[in-house]
Copies of this chain bind each other. A is one copy, B any other.
Amino acid sequence: MSVTPSMLTARLPAPVPLDEQASCPVSGVFQRIGDRWTVLVLVLLNQRPHRYNELHRAMEGLSRRMLTLTLRSLERDGLVARTVFPTVPPGVEYELTELGRGLLVPLSALSDWAVHTASRIERNRAEFDARP
Interface residues of A in 3-42 (CB under 8 A from B): 5, 8, 13-14, 17, 20, 24-31, 33-36, 38-40
Chain B residues near A20 (CB, 8 Å)?
40
A102 at the interface (CB under 8 A from B): yes
Query: What secondary structure prevails in chain A residues at the interface with B?
Result: helix
Verify A76–B129 contact, CB threshold 8 A.
yes
A120 at the interface (CB under 8 A from B): yes
Q: Which of A48-56, A63-71, A86-94, A111-119 contacts B (4 or more CB under 8 A)?
A: A111-119
- By Cβ-Cβ distance, the 6 closest A-B pairs, closest first, are A34-B34, A78-B124, A25-B114, A106-B109, A106-B110, A26-B111
